[in-house]
Structure 1
Amino acid sequence: MSHDPQTSTPSAPASPPKVSLKEARRIAFAAFVGTALEWYDYFLFGTAAALVFNRLFFTDLNPAGATLAAFATFGVGFAARPIGAVVFGWIGDRYGRRPALLTTIVMIGCATGLIGVLPDYLAVGIAAPVMLAVLRLVQGFAVGGEWGGATTIAIEHSPEKMRGRFAALVQIGSPVGTLVSSGAFALVLMMPPEAFDAWGWRLPFLLAFPLLGIALYIRLKVEESPVFQELAAAGEQVKVPVVELFRKSGLRLLVAVAAAMLGVGGFYMMTTFVVSYGTNVLEVDRQVMVNATLVAAVLQIGVTIFAGRLAERFGPGRMTVVGGLTTGIAAFPLFWLIDTESPIAIIAAVSIGIALITLSYAVTGALLAELFPPRLRYSGVSLGYNLAGAISGFLPLIATALITVGDGSSWPAVLVLIGICLITVIGGAFGERMRLRDDIVEIDEAAS
């Protein structure tokens, strides 16, 4: 089994882990389901922050202040994600990928469902936004271990030459989660405004409970990673992974954060921020903005599959660079389209923007997983991705603040997006040169 040259050298296990294509497909599907629930919950909150929470949970503020407060609550979840990454990374690297993943999915689903039963500001006053922030913290804490664990277990069950496609399958959870959450909001937005404010907005959150039941049923059938089983058999688990990660693989962690920035921060700039900007600044009908995210999510599914296959040929680091460069070049033209206030132009801009960002996002799992040795992988992947999330989760808030204190034009937000692109280009370039390999054996596919 490969190891990070910056860490202490463990003794090799007696026999390399064995994987099969049939098992890889099953595990990747289970990982995808959990990731889809994660993105459903997270994007649902982002949409509600732009359309609901600013009015119903921060009622005593002016419209601009309420929007800023709602996005601050949205960002709080990202701040909690690195803490969850440390805790669940420790569980995943020390005791197994499976127990960590079962815990995270339950926490995410329950926190999201409970948001659907929260009283609003007019009912309980300041307690309403406080409870909202607490549930967002629980969401963020659990998500801190969800994506990294799902990616890790999918990668470690996959034949090495096919890791790009199976890592991309996990990433399809993003557009599917977005599609379901946007679709749910699009349906309830068809209700009369009074009914929507009174109870309609709650329905998409309550849907998290039955979705959790389905996801948990599927995930309970997931077997432990063969790579971790070999680590455990050889007694090579690290007692406190995060300490060794910072001490001996700090550069790899920094590269992981940079490489993941666009996939997380760029996505929320082109969805959460753009929905808010279009609705509150340009005064475009909110249904148009939500529909734009729906169309973009459908396109993202195809781009994710395509980019995953390209990563197997050219390398995930190179694909990360391509995604960063193309998004940065297109940033100003995309927002010029949005500023026209034309529904067709807005839908086109959001769709193209998400597609370009996806060139990087689709391969983030494959790149991050190969940056870290197996004994630190769950922690490294989770912490790298979620530190990027903690930084970029506040970008909609920052971009909103910049256009609020400015002249209301979109150029400050464009510069924020370009900055993220440059960081990711650097991360992808270094990440490609630092990739590691696992010594695994693929079982004869004729048996699968």
Structure 2
Amino acid sequence: MGPVQPLPADVEHPDAASSRDRVEDLPAKTPKKAALASFLGSTLEYYDFFIYGTAAALVFPKIFFPGGDPVVALLGAMATFGVGYLARPLGGIVMSHYGDKVGRKQALMITLVIMGVASIGIGFLPTFDQIGYWATALLLVGRLAQGFSAGAEAAGASTLTMEHSPDGRRGFFTSFVMTGYASGMVLSTIVFIPLAALPEEQLLSWGWRVPFWMSVVVLLVAYWIRTRLDEPPVFEEVKAAEVAHSAPALRVLKTQWRDVLRIVIITLFSVMQTTFTVYALAYATSKGVGLDRTLMLSVNAITIGLSMFTIPLAGLLSDKFGRKKVLLVGALGCSISSFGYFWAISEHSIPLIFVFGFLNMSLFYSCWNGVWPVFFPEMFPAAVRYSGMAMGNQIGLILTGFAPAIATLLAQPGPNGWMPVAWFTVICMAVSSIAIATARETHKTPLEELGLPRTERTARRATADA
């Protein structure tokens, strides 16, 4: 995939010297405050996404779909989980346009409220036994709203935090976006574990609703923190210089379509996460395997909880050794450990489930979560950064959303029926790795040069040295 094309002559680059001359009193960078705000916002987003995934694996097949074939009901629940990912590109495009035109912060405030309201609303839905397929339809509406919000949240939080971060430490500070992912996962699982231990009648009647209602607590805290956050200085410079394009999504597709496509392909890496947290949970607790659901929820909570420490470490390593190296190590490690994880589940080996879960999710998948939030926005200049990242990442996540449903279809009966699922994740890792290898390394590129073609970067340096 070829080099990045420059913005057209009639659109001055936002980091050009002439624009700097027109800007006075820009706000200072606040990397710690930005990292905290992104951490809390991501905690809400992923708490809500994970409680839905957990409920889809354990509860929704029994209360939002007709009785009969449990495999069909499970497939339907997995499909509703995936539907949220269909809405993510739309949310990314709409809110990234707003974020590139009006402000990163304001866009993130809107997405936060949408996610909170949608999740709380799901907790009040009637069941299939009460209103039939209308219950399924309302569940889909709530899931679509969740997906719309999440499609804008990750790209906006990553862009804002990266732009607030100092050169040389962008990976570390931006990694806290996905540390919020781990926090949300742990929080959702801690809430679900005691509820999963309830008698099934109580779990299906009211127990599953409690985690959705509790979204309001994280929503209020995250909203309060974000009201106290400033826009990044580089974005204020764009606005002051009046260089923001009227249609940033169209501009980035015209000038950097290769990078958008590259991000789509790289994002296949995240198939590993939904296969691990959603499909593997359903597989392990199915009648054919029969592991305790509380045990498997604990595996998810512990292994992903430990990644709260390894995700920032991965970001730090990417600042030192490069984004691509850390990502490729993660892809190789995830590919190998996924086989071990499913094998341990099929063997009912609890110690090995924890060992391979740690290797897969705590260690190697953290290489992904610690790096992509900074690597993707670094591919674009400030005027189109939010839009470029959001489109590529959210389109790429569509397959990720349907990975549990695909895995359900691929799985075969018998003790080795998990093998096709493991190979599916490995193929996704391999394709993602090829795209990673073709990308430009950005960890040492100054903020004002990000997204520029090599000739323009060289010219800027020559001017600065003169």
TM range (shorter): over 0.9
Indicate the residue corresponding to 2:272 in structure 1: 266
Q: Show the counterpart of 2:135.
A: 128
Q: Which of 379, 383, 386 matches 1:378?
A: 386
Q: Which amino acid aligns with 2:295?
A: V
Residue pairs, 1:193-272, within 5 angstroms: 193-262=200-269, 264-272=270-278
Instruction: State the 1:329 CA deviation.
Output: 2.8
Q: Cα 1:408–1:138, aligned 2, differ >3 Å: closer, same or farther?
A: farther
The residue number in structure 1 matching 2:98 is 91
Q: Alpha carbons of 1:18 and 1:162: their partners in 2 closer, same or farther (altered >3 Å)? A: farther
The alpha-carbon deviation at position 68 of structure 1 amounts to: 0.2
In the other structure, the counterpart of 1:414 is: 422
Contact 2:92 2:148 in 1 (8 A): yes
Give the deviation of 1:334 after TM superposition: 2.6
2:364 aligned with 1:368: no
Q: Which amino acid aligns with 2:53?
A: G
Q: Give the letter aligned to residue 269 of structure 1.
A: T
Aligned counterparts of 1:277 and 1:242: Cα–Cα separation in 2? 40
Q: How far apart, in 2, do the equivalents of 1:20 and 1:303 lie?
A: 29
Amino acid at match of 1:138: A
Instruction: Give 1:421-432 correspondences, 5 Å limit.
Output: 421-432=429-440
SS in 2 for 1:222: coil
Closer, same or farther: CA 285–44 of 1 in aligned 2, 3 Å: same
Deviation at 1:192, TM superposition (A): 2.2
Give the drift of 1:178.
0.2
Instruction: Read off the aligned partner of 2:119 and give its amino acid letter.
Output: T
Other-structure match for 1:443: none
Structure 1 residues 124 and 404: CA distance shift in structure 2, 3 A: farther
CA RMSD in angstroms comes to 2.0
- The 1:284–1:402 alpha-carbon spacing in structure 2 relative to 1, beyond 3 Å, is same
Structure 1 residue corresponding to 2:346, chosen from 339, 363, 387: 339
| TM-score normalized by the length of structure 1 | 0.93
Give the aligned residue type for 2:5: P
The answer to whether the 8 A contact 1:112-1:135 is kept is yes
Q: 2:31 maps to what in 1?
A: 24
Compared with structure 1, are the counterparts of its residues 423 and 6 closer, same or farther at alpha carbon in structure 2 (3 Å cutoff)? farther
Summarize the alignment of residues 60-79 of structure 1 with structure 2, pairs less than 5 Å apart: 60-79=67-86
| Structure 2 unaligned blocks of 5 or more | 450-466
Tell whether the 8 Å contact from 2:412 to 2:418 is kept in structure 1 after alignment.
Answer: no
Q: Which of 43, 47, 50 is matched with 1:40 structurally? A: 47
The residue that corresponds to 2:320 in the other structure is 313
SS at match of 2:376: helix
Structure 2 residue corresponding to 1:358, chosen from 354, 366, 378: 366
How far is the alpha carbon of 1:211 from its aligned partner?
Answer: 1.6
TM-fit CA distance, 1:18: 6.8
What does 1:289-300 align with in structure 2 at a 5 Å threshold? 289-300=296-307
Q: What amino acid is aligned across from residue 253 of structure 2 in structure 1?
A: F
What is aligned with 2:454?
A: none
* Structure 1 residue 7 corresponds to structure 2 residue 7: yes
Residue 458 (structure 2) aligns with: none
Separation (CA, whole Å) in 2 of partners of 1:245 and 1:191 = 51
The structure with more radius of gyration: 2
How many residues align structurally? Answer: 436
Verify the 8 A CA contact 1:256 1:431 in the aligned structure 2: no
Q: How far apart are 1:379 and its partner, in Å?
A: 0.8
Residue 403 of structure 1: CA displacement? 0.9
Within the candidate set 108, 111, 115, 1:101 is matched to 108
TM value normalised by structure 2:
0.89
Kindly provide the CA deviation profile for residues 367-388 of structure 1, in whole angstroms up to 9, marking residues without a partner as x: 0011111111101111222112
Deviation sequence 1:198-231 (CA, Å, 0-9, x none): 1011000000112211111111111112111000
- Give the distance between the partners of 1:365 and 1:61, measured in 2 at CA: 43
- Structure 1: which amino acid aligns with 2:197? M
Other structure's SS at 1:301 match: helix
